[in-house]
Structure 1
Amino acid sequence: MIKLIQTYFKIASAVAPTLAGNHAFELFQRPLNKKIRKKEMSFFKVAKLFKIKHYLEDIHCYELGNPAGKLVLLVHGWESNAASMSAIGLKLAEAGHHVILFNLPAHGFSKLKKANIKMCKEVFLEVINHLNPKQPFSIVSHSFGSAVTAYALSKTTHQVDQLIFLTSPNKITQIFEDYANFIGLNQKALKQLCQRAENILHEPLEAIRTDLLHKKIRYNRLLLLHDSQDKVIPKANSIAIYNQWPNSELELLENTGHYKMLWNEEVIESVMKQFSSSPETEEKSLYAVAF
């Protein structure tokens, strides 16, 4: 299937780059693997489901822990679902936090067929507005969910306490370039793809850079966790973010993988430690593996 897709876009780019760019953008928005893993299914039996009305479709949200506890939102990545964050969510709930997880558009049990960062940002903000937190809250996000988190927070004035990015892409332009190289788009087709994205976002792609969005976000601390050998999102993305965000820490890990890190005891321990610790200094620190 991949070979056929690459052949199609290579030919289409040469013959009709505008058409190829449009088709590539439509394909880019479609999560191809929405399967809920077996180990994730038990989460849906223990979490309390509630739904938030939204013009796209009802947002499926899941609640764990003490409603009177400190609020923590968990945001999953691309081609994943709320339950992928359940190992972390259950630990936070056990520690007394009020944990909210939700499915992004076209993920989990969603009936939608496509999603993009704008749609995901809007859904995330709808969840925050529904919860209407009166005190600073925290967020743990994974992969694409970290980009959604940063983008959404840049559009609101809510105060965030702890931010934890379990990997994060940085530049959308780089994501599109990598995607174009993978499927065989030429530069003209790539330009059309980017133009389609900007038309939806109503702002230039260069404005959506996770490393620079901190200027528009009210937060206390950021912790980045990233496997040094991550093949899905290279560690350079988190390093770039760390280098720009004040009050940030970067922990480079070994042998945790990209998705498997969500179930890794070392990762979960680092997350829990961040919630139990208090900032001793405003200076950055880098621990674990040096880069």
Structure 2
Amino acid sequence: MSLKKSIRFLVVKSVGQYINLLSLVHPKKALHVSYSLFSQPRIGRLSKEDLPTILQNTIKETFQHNEHHFQTYTWEGNETKILLVHGWESNSARWEKTLPYLQKSGSTIIAIDAPAHGQSSGKEFNVPRYAEFINKAVEKYNPSIIIGHSIGGAACVFHQYLFPESSIKKMVILGAPSDLKTLIDNYIKMLSLNPKIFSLMENRYLENFNFKIDAFSGAKFASHITIEGIVVHDKKDKVVSFEEGKKIASNWKSARFIETSGLGHALHDDDLYQEIYSFLFGAKK
């Protein structure tokens, strides 16, 4: 193990030990710390004054939703509209390599910044709130296609489960996690947290979102989806397990599963983009 990795390992385990000790004397504070670490992104913010080049020449709109606002960026084209939904600790600029392929179709393309990411408001990220942002964007723009990467893909699956009668006709999910329980289990394992923390976090989700952690499953949601789709996952994805993508695809009856190898979590690849283009528009470009 390199020195850098050794230091990171020690820091992570030290944080875990602190939370474990805190849970014995101050469980509410232990929950606050552990939940914040799990739900608050550390990177991915954008400033209006220093936008990445790819986002500068776009139509920018800010929408209010309850106490929050979210940001969208539009590349104008024809009446076919595509909504792009990025993942954790990212922002709308992550689509820079994808855009040239989609723009060959002449479509209008809209990208959205997630809660607590890009120029959208908030400190906390969670899939239910992201799905609400997505729904507001779908109601505004009426896209027929939605493409989601990583946890943005999970939010797209949840959105389609909640709003099956929307304008969306085709969906592409890239490297998405399925089960919230898997994410939290991995988080607890990484920090070596005690079982009490899981119980505290489960109660938090039940109080805030009215569901149990093990009930929040993309695989379960996908079993209700009737539109056509593609689920893509790389066998060597080190961020989200390959099995997570398989779970979603196996339960989504009208979806095709594309297995890649060596593309990692980002899934940027010419051949893959050609295949996605063929699915969306019926011809290769």
What is the TM-score with the length of structure 1 in the denominator?
0.84
Q: How does 1:144-163 map to 2 (within 5 A)?
A: 144-156=151-163, 157-163=165-171
Q: Which residue among 266, 272, 275 is the counterpart of 2:271?
A: 266
In structure 1, give the amino acid aligned to 2:191: I
Q: Paired residue for 1:283?
A: none
Distance in 2, Cα, partners of 1:14 & 1:270:
53
CA RMSD across the alignment: 2.1
In structure 2, give the amino acid aligned to 1:258: H
* 1:194 to partner: Cα distance: 1.4
Alignment partner of 1:113: what SS? coil
Q: Paired residue for 1:287?
A: none
Distance in 1, Cα, partners of 2:195 & 2:236:
29
Alignment partner of 1:92: what SS? helix
Alignment partner of 1:12: what SS? helix
Q: How does 1:4-83 map to 2 (within 5 A)?
A: 4-17=14-27, 19-34=29-44, 41-66=52-77, 68-83=78-93
Is the contact made by 2:45 and 2:116 (CA closer than 8 Å) also made in structure 1?
Answer: no
For these two proteins, the number of residue pairs brought into alignment is 268
Q: Does 1:224 align with 2:234?
A: no
In structure 1, give the amino acid aligned to 2:79: G
Identity over aligned pairs, percent: 21
In structure 2, give the amino acid aligned to 1:54: H
* 1:141 to partner: Cα distance: 0.6
Q: Paired residue for 1:205?
A: 213
Q: Does 1:172 align with 2:202?
A: no
Q: Which residue among 119, 123, 144 is the counterpart of 1:109?
A: 119
Q: Does 1:138 align with 2:145?
A: yes
* 1:62 to partner: Cα distance: 0.8
Is the contact made by 2:263 and 2:269 (CA closer than 8 Å) also made in structure 1?
Answer: yes
Is the contact made by 2:144 and 2:168 (CA closer than 8 Å) also made in structure 1?
Answer: yes
In structure 2, give the amino acid aligned to 1:206: D
Tell which deviates more after alignment, 140-149 or 108-117.
108-117
In structure 2, give the amino acid aligned to 1:11: L
5+ residue gaps, structure 2, are 1-10
* 1:14 to partner: Cα distance: 4.8
Change in 2 beyond 3 A, CA 1:215/1:180: same
Q: Which residue among 260, 278, 281 is the counterpart of 1:276?
A: 281
* 1:253 to partner: Cα distance: 1.0
Change in 2 beyond 3 A, CA 1:243/1:30: same
Tell which deviates more after alignment, 115-124 or 76-85.
115-124
In structure 1, give the amino acid aligned to 2:58: A
* 1:16 to partner: Cα distance: 4.6
* 1:191 to partner: Cα distance: 0.9
Distance in 1, Cα, partners of 2:127 & 2:45:
20
* 1:216 to partner: Cα distance: 3.7
Alignment partner of 2:171: what SS? strand
Distance in 2, Cα, partners of 1:264 & 1:215:
28
Alignment partner of 1:212: what SS? helix
Residues 91-117 of structure 1, C-alpha deviation per residue, up to 9 Å, x if partnerless?
212311121111011101234222211
Q: Does 1:257 align with 2:257?
A: no
5+ residue gaps, structure 1, are 279-291
Distance in 1, Cα, partners of 2:219 & 2:96:
27
In structure 2, give the amino acid aligned to 1:149: C
Is the contact made by 2:45 and 2:119 (CA closer than 8 Å) also made in structure 1?
Answer: no
Q: Does 1:122 align with 2:132?
A: yes
Distance in 1, Cα, partners of 2:233 & 2:222:
19
Q: Paired residue for 1:284?
A: none
Q: Paired residue for 2:7?
A: none
* 1:277 to partner: Cα distance: 2.6
Residues 171-209 of structure 1, C-alpha deviation per residue, up to 9 Å, x if partnerless?
111111111111222112111111101211122333321
* 1:159 to partner: Cα distance: 4.7
Is the contact made by 2:85 and 2:153 (CA closer than 8 Å) also made in structure 1?
Answer: yes
Distance in 1, Cα, partners of 2:24 & 2:43:
29
Is the contact made by 1:60 and 1:103 (CA closer than 8 Å) also made in structure 2?
Answer: yes
Alignment partner of 2:169: what SS? strand
Structure of greater relative contact order (alpha carbons < 8 Å, 6+ residues apart) = 1
What is the TM-score with the length of structure 2 in the denominator?
0.86
